């Protein structure tokens, strides 16, 4: 209600894994839950391939930064 333009804010509630978040989104949309699990090393390899594509001016599904972020846990305290 009193945010400032251009600032970032963390709106938090329960701590969730990415899988739990995607499952909740799928439930709300009436869609099937994601069913493909990629181990972290595979995600990081895809990120490296995305970096390579970006070096040629192409856009990949992930880059190293998004791969790293997607395999981390982000727990926030809203106090």
Please say whether the dihedral angle defined by the alpha carbons of residues 69, 18, 2 and 28, taken in this order, is positive or negative. Answer: positive
pLDDT for residue 56:
96
3-state DSSP of 24-66: HHHHHHCCCCCCCCCCHHHHHHHHHHHHHHHHCCCCCCCCHHH
Q: Taking 90 as the threshold, does the pLDDT of residue 10 lie above it?
A: no
Helices (H) and strands (E) in the chain, counts: 3, 0
d(CA 60, CA 46): 8
User: Higher pLDDT residue, 78 or 6?
Assistant: 6
Report pLDDT for 13. Answer: 75
Write the pLDDT tens digit of every residue in 17-71.
Answer: 878 888 999 999 999 998 888 999 999 999 999 999 999 999 988 999 999 988 8
Would you say the pTM of this structure is higher than 0.85?
Answer: no
């Amino acid at each position: 209600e009193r945010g400032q333009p251009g600032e970032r804010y963390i709106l938090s509630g329960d701590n969730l894994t990415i899988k739990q978040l995607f499952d909740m989104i799928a439930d709300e949309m009436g869609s099937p839950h994601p069913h493909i699990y990629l181990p972290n090393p595979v995600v990081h390899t895809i990120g490296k391939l995305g970096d390579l594509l970006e070096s040629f001016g192409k856009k990949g599904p992930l880059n190293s930064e998004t791969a790293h972020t997607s395999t981390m846990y982000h727990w926030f305290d809203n106090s």
